[in-house]
A and B are shown apart, each in its own frame.
Chain A
Amino acid sequence: MPIVEAREVSKRFLLRHNPSGSLKVHFLGLFQRGHQERVEEFWALREVSLRIGRGESIGLIGRNGSGKSTLLKLIAAIHQPTSGHLLVERDARIGTMIELGVGFHPELTGAENVGLNAAIYGFSQPEIEALYPAIVKYSGLEHFMDVPLKNYSSGMHMRLGFAIAANLDPDLLLLDEVFAVGDQDFQKQCIRTLQTLQSRGKTIVFVSHAPAAIRAICRRVCVLDRGRLVFDGDVDAGLAMYEKTMSAPEVDGEPAPRQVQTAVEWTDAELDLAWHRTATGGKWRESGEWQLEFLRRQGLRPDQFVLDVGSGSLSGARVMLPFMDQSRYWGYEKDRRLFEMGVKIELVRADVRPERGHLIVNEWFDLSESPHRFDFAIANGFWSRLTLNAIARCVSSVLKKLAPGGRFYASWVENPDPANFEPIVHSQGATTYPDMEPFHYSFDVLAGVCRALGAAVERVDDRTHPRGESVMLITRAHGG
């Protein structure tokens, strides 16, 4: 279970011109237009979706104003999302290092400030007393603890602030650019500490502009650009992507997402490491191309109706939309995030207009939006993302939408032994699981589910799938 899950989280700030906070402005505003408070909307985050698993270390990067700090503050409950859902594990202890030594008072001694600061983070007196020796030792300021903070150098100030935050032992640590300041030794100490926390299974979300620090700490990188999550995946590819968002021109005012996306040129190699491509099982381009070729071998013509079940980030749509006649391609996807990455990045990149077909997005396999019955349906690798019950629902929904004689092909990761409940490591390096994503299933179990729903099932003898998946054909049992 993730420790944090963001579902289409957006955050709007109101920028007040003609600074208010004064009754005068409100009062004069009644009579004079010039005095009216002008409120401008600023969307710091736009529909950001992301999951952070326990023990993960994630780097958040992006240029200034891209929404990184806002995301941290939403997770820390400092601000509230304007829309969407942001789920945070109920009992997770959250440590925020958004500003080091916040709440420090110059007149209080080091020791008193440690106590006050720890209390601000929600610790009780006995807990603070237990942690105190470790904090002092870590800071290396043993001889200065009874000196008022106003006599500390800025370096000592920071050292103490970080010592407190590092020793409060949170489950989830949120850091915002904290050691951009500070000398090399201090930065090294910080990174070592974070690595230790990491090895103890703590979750770290880390905002930084420093590639070296990101590489030292993070296994995963999320790139934000003008409030949107534009990349989620491998560190190297993420840093490369970040370089490119930095060189993309600023667009004033309302950012036009498609423009922003095309302004950034990504290579295939970079994109292959991106989250939206790996989430559908990898071999993104090959898999999409296989899908069209396979269906054509089965007799698909451009004037027929085809349903792409679990269209993911549109690897299939990318090649099928140009091939099919106008409005003959229908895609269904349950994960809006994947779908959006597909539309915003992949289709734009391939210069394919989504309007050539129809794309349905919902979480409950509702295909009623389509008035058509389909000659062909295909679920390419989709079932790796579905539980058995979800597969049953998927099959049931698709069967209702099949034209007479319509054929539903599904490729899936096969578990050769129905009695095997262990993970399988495949020759291509991927691992699949019986009880978590990516799933594998045995043919007999899937066939049983389909038959229970009134379908006829047979294996298709096709070994050409780029991920080595098996293929089955599902039809309505009585020609229906």
Chain B
Amino acid sequence: MIDRAAPLDSLATTLGALVRYRTLLRKLVLKDLKLKYRGSVLGFLWSLVNPLVMIAVYSFAFRYILHNATQGFVFLVLIGILAWTFFSNAAMMSTGAIADSGSLLKSVFFPRAILPIATVLFNLSQYLLMAAVFLPVMMIAFRIPPAAPLLAYPIFLALQVIFTIGVALILATGTTFFRDVRHLLEVALAVLFWTTPIVYELSQVPARFRVALLASPVASYVVAYKEILFYRRWPEPAVWTFAVAYAIIAVAIGTALLLAFEDRFAEQT
């Protein structure tokens, strides 16, 4: 017998439940993908337009207004934009993952963590689709042959996924209790966009600010991708350290918050 009054949401039971509900996880991701592209003529092509337009705008602004002539600017910005879009879209979507699922939470039991995790995986799948199209094209266009540091790419991507899941759990739980989290996030994303080396390079930053900038939560991942994909270098130890640390911290806080408040979601929404 299980006692419903006993707190059953230990980390182990939650992980076990996630494994048992993996079909649900997959179907939720597929649902979002289908809903996004069904009924539009160009479908997936629209996803490619967005980063292209952004690159065009930033190229114009940086090249012709600010006269910044970084080598490989287009590719570098693309790498940054893709990684950033993954993070920021997942973060925005996750705020509603639990708060906007009231009727579902009130009528069926399933592990609540599934919802924010599904939003992250949906955005990851979007990222992968776009990366699969753009990265090979760019590597050919810029004549960058594959090199050993490419092996670090899946590692950093995995770290970013873990980090983003952690953030999503925090935001999903937070929004359930305080709807303001959404507005706070919008402000935070605007700041984070410019404190992350997306449209500029870490090397262009005055040396005394570099570590501080690398400590910006998403910076280490973006810097790593640029190092790996464009400069064909292994990321520096500081980059590894921040990437691992942020992933662990975010997922630890996210999991702790979720476990602490999970049983109140159905009442709050």
Contacts and interface: CB of A to CB of B under 8 A. Distances in A.
A78 B106 contact: yes
Interface of B: 1-5, 7-8, 20-24, 26-28, 31, 34-35, 38-39, 103-110, 177-180, 263, 266-268
Given A77-B4, A116-B27, 20 more contacts: A9-B5, A14-B267, A23-B178, A24-B180, A73-B106, A78-B106, A83-B5, A86-B4, A87-B2, A98-B106, A99-B106, A102-B104, A102-B108, A105-B35, A107-B34, A108-B34, A116-B28, A119-B26, A120-B104, A125-B23
B100 to A, nearest CB: 12
Interface stretch (A88-96, A262-270, A444-452): A88-96
Interface of A: 5, 9, 13-14, 21-24, 26, 73-81, 83-90, 94, 96, 98-99, 102-103, 105, 107-108, 112, 115-116, 119-125, 128
B180 A22 contact: yes
Contacts of A22: 178-180
Nearest to B35: A107
B35 A121 contact: no
A122 B24 contact: yes
Contact of B103 (A99, A115, A123): A99
- 9 nearest CB pairs, A to B: A119-B24, A86-B4, A98-B107, A87-B1, A77-B109, A99-B107, A81-B5, A23-B180, A80-B263
Contacts, number: 112
A85 B104 contact: no
Given A21-B179, A74-B4, A125-B23, A112 B34 contact: yes
A83 B24 CA distance: 32
26 contacts: A9-B5, A14-B267, A21-B177, A22-B180, A76-B108, A77-B4, A77-B8, A79-B263, A79-B266, A84-B5, A85-B5, A88-B4, A89-B2, A90-B1, A96-B108, A99-B103, A99-B106, A105-B31, A107-B34, A107-B35, A107-B39, A116-B27, A121-B110, A122-B24, A122-B110, A124-B22
A102 B103 contact: yes
Given A78-B107, A103-B104, A119 B23 contact: yes
B24 A80 contact: no
A33 B1 CA distance: 47
Contacts of A75: 4
A79 B38 CA distance: 36
Nearest to A89: B1
Contacts of A90: 1-2
A375 B171 CA distance: 69
B2 A78 contact: no
B27 A79 contact: no
A467 B194 CA distance: 86
- Greatest chain A CB density within 10 A among B4, B27, B109, B180 is at B4
A78 B178 contact: no
B21 A80 contact: no
Contacts of A9: 5
Nearest to A102: B107
Given A13-B267, A96-B109, A107-B35, A123 B23 contact: yes
A79 B23 CA distance: 24
B24 A86 contact: no
Contacts of B22: 124
Contacts of A115: 27
